[in-house]
């Protein structure tokens, strides 16, 4: 089992709650913007963040990912 799986689920669930999304909609956002890959690459630092800072960081990553796709 992926050692990061519980943290990925934690991120997904809290993102879902903050944005008032269904589980499927939150999963679609994470997959579309490669958030799970981002979490995997930066786990060492991300898991040390507080919840609010963590979700804000994921929001910033997703917004930046949108901008990089537009260019």
**What is the distance of C-alpha 65 from the center of its chain?**
12
Cα 3 to Cα 20: distance, rounded to the nearest angstrom: 27
The pLDDT value recorded for residue 71 is: 52
Residues 6+ apart with CB under 8 A from 50: none
| 23's tokens | 């589980």
* Domain boundaries, position 54: 5-70
The pLDDT value recorded for residue 1 is: 54
* pLDDT of the chain, 71 residues: tens digit per residue: 577 999 999 999 999 999 999 999 999 999 999 999 999 999 999 999 999 999 999 999 999 987 776 55
* DSSP at 33: T
User: Is 29 within 8 Å of 21 (Cβ atoms)?
Assistant: yes
The pLDDT value recorded for residue 66 is: 73
Number of domains in the chain: 1
pTM for the whole thing?
A: 0.88
Helix (H) or strand (E) holding 14: helix 5-19
């Amino acid at each position: 089992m992926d050692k990061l799986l519980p943290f990925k689920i934690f991120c997904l669930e809290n993102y879902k709650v903050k944005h008032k999304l269904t589980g499927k909609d939150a999963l679609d956002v994470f997959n579309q913007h490669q958030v799970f890959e981002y979490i995997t690459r930066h786990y060492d630092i991300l898991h040390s963040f507080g919840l609010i800072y963590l979700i804000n960081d994921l929001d910033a990553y997703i917004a930046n990912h949108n901008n990089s796709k537009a260019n």
